[in-house]
Amino acid sequence: MDAGLGPRVRRGLRRTGCVFADAERWWWIVPAQADIGLVWPEPARYAPGALVPARASGAGPCLTHWPEDDVPYTHPVMLYIVVCNVLGVRPDWSAVPADAAAARR
């Protein structure tokens, strides 16, 4: 997400996993498939399989938060709700995959 939103989002979370940041963006580490059923609002993006680039001579993102319990993930639904609140948008749960919706019937 945009770096300007990062501190506001972090303050809104009860527990935060690993967070990387540079001057332009913050990266929140969430479990795989954290996009299922969630429509992430712009300027936040869910990037499955994303790699945080290695720092070479001070360039690139750096680790800004490591959780006390050593669990590297931020809970994706809580992160999503806080992001929506910070952006002033209503959460959108409409992206539930068709196979998951069918399994609930």
CA distance 48 to 65: 20
Question: Which range of residues forms the domain containing residue 49?
Answer: 6-104
CA distance 57 to 36: 37
In a domain, 98, yes or no: yes
**Is the pLDDT assigned to residue 54 strictly greater than 70?**
no
List all residues 6 or more positions away from 31 whose beta carbon is below 8 Å from its beta carbon: 73, 76
**Model confidence band, residue 56 (pLDDT cutoffs 50, 70, 90):** low
Instruction: Please give the pLDDT value at position 57.
Output: 62
Instruction: Please give the pLDDT value at position 97.
Output: 54
In a domain, 1, yes or no: no
In a domain, 55, yes or no: yes
Give the closest residue to 63 by CA, choosing from 55, 14, 71: 55
CA distance 102 to 76: 23
Helix/strand/coil for 20: strand
Number of domains in the chain: 1
